[in-house]
Amino acid sequence: MSQFSHLDADNNPGMVDVGHKDITKRTATARTFMFLGKDVMAQLEGEEINMPKGPVFQTAIIAGTMAVKRTWDLIPLCHPLALTGINFKIEAVDEEHIQIDCTVKLKGKTGVEMEALTGCSVAALTVYDMCKALSQKMVIKDTRLVEKKGGKSDFKLGE
């Protein structure tokens, strides 16, 4: 791309005009890896960590969902969107790490990559907040887009 889409000819920022685009089905999935360490992961019972503040992963999913719906309010040039679906999956990947996936869907004129990335980020921050009494050694390691469908092009990490 020779020019950023959020800059006009005079290099002034602005929200991209999507009025001319067709409404299409669009999805995006983002993923965050998080190091919790053995002390925190030792609290894992089944598929959940229960802390005095409540169930960690369930609370993270609720916080991530709320963040997805407010992405337009957090990221200055994002459009407010009528989302059709938000799904999370949080799972242990080994004895010290978890993976958080967030998939966002809509039928609209713009993509939902930023919404999926924001959802993963806030879910990870919520896990950190709820588990920090056990360890401050947790690390939110990697947040990235892993798949996007719809719009001008599709994307899948590794392809």
What pLDDT sits at residue 1? 44
CA 28 to chain centre: 9
Q: What is the pTM of this model?
A: 0.92
- Cα 116 to Cα 30, 31, 138, 145, 153: the distances in Å are 5, 8, 22, 8, 17
Of the candidates 22, 129, 142, 154, the residue annotated as catalytic is: 129
pLDDT digits (tens, 9 = 90+) for 128-159: 999 999 999 999 999 999 999 998 889 999 87
pLDDT digits (tens, 9 = 90+) for 96-113: 999 999 999 999 999 999
What pLDDT sits at residue 55? 97
Q: Based on the residue annotation, tell me whether 129 is a catalytic residue of this protein.
A: yes
**Given pLDDT bands bounded at 50, 70 and 90, which one contains residue 6?**
confident
